[in-house]
Amino acid sequence: MKRLLLILVCIVAIGTAKGQNVLLEQDPAADTTTETIGPNLRDFFQTFYGYGNFIGTNNPATAVRYTSYHLTAGIRYKRRISEYYSIGTELAYTNNTYALKQQPSKQVPDSVLHKKERLSWMYMGLSNI
C-alpha cells in the first residue's frame, strides 16, 4: 500500500511539475547598440606616454649623466576609411632633459663649470598618421 501511494504521488508530481513561465522574451541583439568607437572600428582614440634615459656619448666634451631623460605624452585619433585604410592625427608633448657632467673638458653649451647644469627642451607637436 505504501509503495502504491508513493508511486501515485510521484506520477501526480511529475504530471503537475512545470518549468518557469516565460514572462518576457528578449532578443539581446535587438537591444544592443552597435559600437563605433574602439580598436578596428570606425573611430579610435588612444592616449600614449613614454619615458627613456639617455646613455650619453664617448666624447668628454659632451658627456651627460645617467639622470638625463626623455618624456612624452599625447593623444591619438584615427578614423577608419575602409578595410585597409585609415587617417588620423596625434598631439604630443615631449620633454628632453640632459644633465651635463661637470668636468674640465666640458664644452657644451660653454666651458664654465657649475654645481649642476641641465639642458631642457620642451615642445608640443601635431602630426598626421
The model's pLDDT over 51-92, given as tens digits with 9 standing for 90+, comes to 998 876 777 777 777 788 999 999 999 999 988 899 999 999
pLDDT band at 31 (very low <50, low <70, confident <90, very high): low
* Report field, pTM of the whole predicted structure over 0.85: no
Closest CA to 80 of 49, 45, 120: 45
- Render the burial of 80-113: b for 16+ CB within 10 Å, e for the rest: beeeeeeebebebeeebbbbbeeeeebeeeeeee
Average pLDDT over the chain reads 83
Per DSSP (E only), the strands in the chain are 43-53, 69-80, 86-99, 118-128
Q: State the Cα–Cα distance between residues 115 and 17, nearest whole angstrom.
A: 89
All cell numbers assigned to 53: 634615459
Residue 125 has pLDDT above 70, yes or no: yes
Single-letter amino acid, residue 19: G
Percent of the chain with pLDDT over 90: 34
Q: State the Cα–Cα distance between residues 72 and 126, nearest whole angstrom.
A: 13
